[in-house]
Chains A and B, each alone.
Chain A
Amino acid sequence: ETGVTQSPTHLIKTRGQQVTLRCSSQSGHNTVSWYQQALGQGPQFIFQYYREEENGRGNFPPRFSGLQFPNYSSELNVNALELDDSALYLCASSLAFGQGSADTQYFGPGTRLTVL
């Protein structure tokens, strides 16, 4: 077990709705990253938070947003859900961010989101 937890495990929403997914990082990890994994694909980087500020974003529109809190928890919010947003959403925490660092990322079990 990585010590990273996510909630809920499964979620069903309809198109146009909004959703909030939650993650609890390992204690002491000040960096959290969120990934989207479609069926049969590798995880795709959404964004990363370091010390409660966004620190890099992948190719995802602004309706994907996040928050990181001082207590090692974080949230991923998705507005105006689309059918293509159906995927496994993974958060990953790491010990520290640094230029050129190669920190191992510890993944949670994911939240399976289905958009109907």
Chain B
Amino acid sequence: SQKIEQNSEALNIQEGKTATLTCNYTNYSPAYLQWYRQDPGRGPVFLLLIRENEKEKRKERLKVTFDTTLKQSLFHITASQPADSATYLCAPTPGGYNKLIFGAGTRLAVHP
């Protein structure tokens, strides 16, 4: 069955550093992969989408990579700020689906 793994432990980093979050998937080949941010008690908010034929995507301080050989996506936040503290969810999605299959998320804490 489809399996998605994200770092279960919280990631604590200092303000100004680059945060790197990992998303690994097994037993299927997603056509695209989305990253969402979720604050406590709130719904997820879309950040970036990358397709299987794209290696890298950037948006402001965010960068996503997608390695279909390693079955892995990396999510980077450069020049991190305390306001970036949240849980980040990855959703590698098979083609033909409009439902999202989420990992459990990684909690990021950026300290001043």
Q: Could you tell me which A residues sit within 8 Å of B by CB distance?
A: 2, 4, 31, 33, 35, 40-45, 48, 56, 58, 88, 90, 92, 94, 97-110, 112
Contact = CB atoms under 8 A, between A and B. Distances in A.
A20 to B, nearest CB: 19
A110 B95 contact: no
Nearest to A9: B41
A100 B96 CA distance: 4
Interface of B: 4, 31-32, 34, 36, 41-46, 49, 51, 89, 91, 93, 95-105
A95 B51 CA distance: 18
A105 B91 CA distance: 11
A108 B43 contact: yes
Contact of B31 (A41, A88, A102, A104): A102
Contact of B98 (A33, A35, A42, A108): A33
Contacts of A102: 31-32, 34, 49, 51, 93
A40 B95 CA distance: 27
Give 6 closest A-B pairs by Cβ, nearest first: A42-B102, A107-B43, A45-B99, A102-B32, A104-B46, A100-B95
A112 B95 CA distance: 31
